[in-house]
Structure 1
Amino acid sequence: MANLARKLRQEQQTQQTQQAPKVSKKVQKQKRWLSPGEKILGIAFGVVICFGSVQIISNQSSIYELNKEIQDTQVTIQEQQKLNSDLTVQISELSQYDRIKEKARELGLELNEQNVKVVQD
């Protein structure tokens, strides 16, 4: 009988030890990927990046517009310089002595060498 009682005790102890770990298991909480503070920082960083991107694009757009205006102004200046040089050539052609003398004769003026005075610069 004693052996039988010992065997029962041993069986009961083994059953308790086998059941005890099963009962003592704790359910582990699933860890979050990001904490709330990290989420807030991430969102703030994203907003700053978006704002910076918009600012850069806006600045580049205004620079492009100014460069376009500068180029248009340079083209206008070049056209005006060309016109001015053409007019300078025309003035030099129209102010030749032979042409002036011919126009004076057409208008009835005559050259009197006694009335001519030489002016020096």
Structure 2
Amino acid sequence: MGNLARTLQQEETQKKKYQKELAPKKAEISKSWFSPGEKILGLIFGAALCFGGVHVISNQAMIYNMNKNIQETETSIQDQKKVNNDLKMQVSELSTYDRIITKAKKLGLKLNENNVKVVQEK
């Protein structure tokens, strides 16, 4: 009888295996690392980070251009100051008393000391 019990037990285990194979399989739910809310927050954070980076870079580019324009303006101001100083030197050289007298004599003018008025610059 020992064999009969074993064969019955084997038949029962085979039936159970067969029933498990025929039974509808449950879909396994894959567990993701992040929930949908965390994914949305991550996307928002990433977008804000990208926007901030682009904003900082564009501000730095504008600052660079502004500094470049300021330096160009300063150099043009320095050049103009040099030109102005050169012209002041020419004015002071050309307005000396001796030069004016020689020009006046070349043009045929005579010095009348009674008619001379003294003008002083401030």
Please, what TM-score do these two structures have when normalized by structure 1? 0.71
User: In the alignment, which residue of structure 2 is the partner of 1:97?
Assistant: 97
Q: Deviations over 1:79-113 (max 9, x none)?
A: 00000000001100000000000000000001122
Q: Secondary structure at the match of 2:116?
A: coil
Q: Deviations over 1:8-65 (max 9, x none)?
A: 9xxx9xxxxxxxxxxxxxxx96532111111111011000000111111111111111
**1: CA distance, partners of 2:35 / 2:118:** 101
Q: Secondary structure at the match of 1:114?
A: helix
Change (3 A) 1:120 1:63: closer
**1: CA distance, partners of 2:101 / 2:68:** 50
User: In the alignment, which residue of structure 1 is the partner of 2:16?
Assistant: none
**1:7-18 to 2 correspondences below 5 Å:** none
User: In the alignment, which residue of structure 2 is the partner of 1:82?
Assistant: 82
**1: CA distance, partners of 2:58 / 2:52:** 10
How far is the alpha carbon of 1:119 from its aligned partner?
5.8
Question: What percentage of aligned pairs have identical amino acids?
Answer: 60
Structure 1, gaps ≥5 residues long: 1-7, 13-27
RMSD of aligned Cα (Å): 2.4
**1: CA distance, partners of 2:31 / 2:119:** 106
User: In the alignment, which residue of structure 2 is the partner of 1:43?
Assistant: 43
Report whether the alignment pairs 1:109 with 2:71.
Answer: no
Q: Secondary structure at the match of 1:111?
A: coil
**1:36-75 to 2 correspondences below 5 Å:** 36-75=36-75
For 1:105, the aligned partner's letter is: K
Moved over 4 A (4+): 117-121
Please, what TM-score do these two structures have when normalized by structure 2? 0.70
Q: Size of the alignment, in residue pairs?
A: 97
For 1:68, the aligned partner's letter is: K
Change (3 A) 1:102 1:29: same
Structure 2, gaps ≥5 residues long: 10-27
For 1:59, the aligned partner's letter is: N
